[in-house]
Amino acid sequence: MRVEVAHHASTSLREAVEQAFKDLEHKRGGPLLAATILGGGDHATFLEASVASGAVFVATQDDALVGVAIVRAGVLEALYVEPAHRRRGIGRALVNAVVANRGAILDAYALPGDRAMKSLYESFGWKTRLLTMRGE
């Protein structure tokens, strides 16, 4: 497996980011998190700006994209691994690459009920420090 900074928004990268946001639609808090990350824009604009700023890291295996991480202003905003490649250390490799290239991560987003994501972050020694409650 290889992890590196993305230098262009390839078709496979665009598809992975679109799938990551699509997956958020069905999770508790996912639509709000997506809106927060996108800041009112669309996936394509967000991805292009993120790639241009060196904020996108991709994991490839056998020349196929298997994971992506996006970090901005010290916040790990998105971490996505293709479902068929999960639980193989790809998420950990992406986080390690982000830290090695961008420095300490101040915050990372995890949705309520996403135990796998929380467990990954806790394995780095990170602690939950904020839980946002919303009355609806």
Q: Look up residue 109 and give its two tokens.
A: 């987003």
117 occurs within a structural domain: yes
Query: Which tens digits make up the pLDDT trace of 45-63?
Result: 999 999 999 999 999 999 9
Query: Which tens digits make up the pLDDT trace of 90-122?
Result: 999 999 999 999 888 889 999 988 999 999 999
Amino acid at 84: A
Residue with tokens 């309520």: 112
130 occurs within a structural domain: no
CATH of the domain at 75: 3.40.630.30
pLDDT at residue 27, rounded to an integer: 92
135 occurs within a structural domain: no
Q: How many domains does the chain have?
A: 1
Is residue 114 a contact partner of residue 27, using CB atoms and an 8 Å limit?
yes
pLDDT higher than 80, residue 131: no
Whole-model pTM over 0.75? yes
pLDDT higher than 80, residue 134: no
Residue with tokens 């700006």: 49
132 occurs within a structural domain: no
Domain that holds residue 79: 2-123
